[in-house]
A and B are shown apart, each in its own frame.
Chain A
């Protein structure tokens, strides 16, 4: 089975978000970047499927050279080779178009990625890729099993989950508990240094453009209520906050 896993490189989930240059750019200084947490689940499941069934895992990132530590980490976790499409990821459509342009005619059975990135939270790249390649796409997938060409998945729906059967090839947006995040072993890290990482020129255009950024207004001070008098909170929620 030939698997493609698309990963984003995003600010660590504890990062302080700030903007610079008149609020037109994300302030990268001091930010630690990680593999997108949802993409990390997709990668972990891909490596498990490869270990169980054989085949290969290729990891793809649309990004500049500063994403390479994240790509090497994915190789250390168990991907066999990597591709970086050398452009700043601009929007969902262009990222999907880059992925589709690369994946077309390469015969991938499974294209996996996270349900969304944790920076822009758009959640549509998998579906756009599926449409562009004429493959079905499903998200957010919480369980994934492959039996021959049959693909059994459970995906989240409003307030529950739906199990369905589809077939290879397919594009899936993943989330927990599809697999547990994997931590690279020392051997994996050593091996990753020499695994192939191809850099490819971009070809797609973006359909959106961010004009400026802003931060939400600061939260007011918290009002503390003594535990002995906890019941009085309910009155405040009714008369002051007006949410009951």
Chain B
């Protein structure tokens, strides 16, 4: 099967989760005897784009930066058609949701999101996807000729090689989409580690008592090179920005390590963090439900425990 992987670019290189998607797409291609082509839209040097080959891509198609998400979708649809791709793979993200969705509409293609394992192609095309915010899995068969997959982050173990892939720059007319949106401003948390892609997340709940008490948590996050997150009431109270809110109604994270500080572990919170590989819970209440979902637990006051952890990290 010809596989097309939609890769996202950030700060001039291929995003980590997109590397996972490329690796996945290349495996599907080799499993079914096809090619693995990457489509990247944005800003990156040829040398950076060629690194898609490290993850198994055989070719990179590159389109220079577009502002408008409608244009991304148009480009993806055109490239699926021109390459005759029958499988399209992307890392699950807000951007890929928007882009794959429109492509699904345009191509009449079946979609499976939060895919966690390689497809079974022995009879038809069946993938495993995570549903109910990580509380279950569904074996899903896609019956259309073109299949779109969004890969759940941090579930595909990537082994990178040293091959590079040839890069071809395309130009696709997207002027028809120009009128649909005008970007007014972009606010990005600068310098901080991106939450959805972080390997380590340090998260605070109402047990942190107020925004003025966040410093010990920020210190630990900095020492670990971690992203910071929070529970819903914390962002509702404006103690922390909304894009840090994790859970059923917030960002879904899947880091290698999630450290919960003063969070009770309500089921809606767990729904956003239960795909983490290792969970540490610090709570002064030994009955806090979060301990049941934890790998390591400390019963204690966050304001006493956090500085000890930070000191121990610095001593490593």
- Listed in ascending order, the chain A residues whose CB lies under 8 Å from chain B are 11, 13-14, 17, 19, 37-38, 91-93, 96, 115-116, 118-132, 136-140, 142, 152, 155-167, 173, 175-177, 206-216, 219-220, 222-227, 230-238, 241, 243-244
Contacts and interface: CB of A to CB of B under 8 A. Distances in A.
16 contacts: A13-B248, A14-B268, A124-B100, A125-B101, A128-B105, A138-B98, A139-B94, A160-B187, A163-B184, A176-B249, A177-B236, A213-B136, A231-B315, A232-B312, A234-B316, A237-B278
A213 B248 contact: no
A161 B144 CA distance: 34
Contacts of A226: 298
A91 B111 contact: yes
Nearest to B258: A243
Nearest to B69: A138
A157 B95 contact: yes
Contact of A124 (B101, B137, B224, B298): B101
A13 B69 CA distance: 31
Nearest to A156: B94
Interface string B280-316: 1100000000011111111111001100110111011
A121 to B, nearest CB: 6
Given A159-B188, A176-B242, A230-B300, A235 B95 contact: no
A171 to B, nearest CB: 10
A98 B103 CA distance: 17
Given A121-B131, A216-B137, A222-B292, 10 more contacts: A92-B101, A92-B111, A122-B111, A123-B92, A128-B101, A161-B243, A215-B137, A222-B281, A227-B300, A234-B312
Contacts of A215: 135-137
Given A127-B104, A159-B189, A227 B298 contact: yes
Contacts of A225: 296-298
Nearest to A155: B94
Interface residues of B, number: 97
A243 B278 contact: yes
Nearest to A129: B105
Contacts of B312: 230-235
A167 B70 CA distance: 13
A130 B144 CA distance: 20
B290 to A, nearest CB: 9
B93 A121 contact: no
A211 B120 CA distance: 12
Contact of A137 (B101, B114, B143): B101
Contacts of A116: 97
B185 interface: yes
B65 interface: no
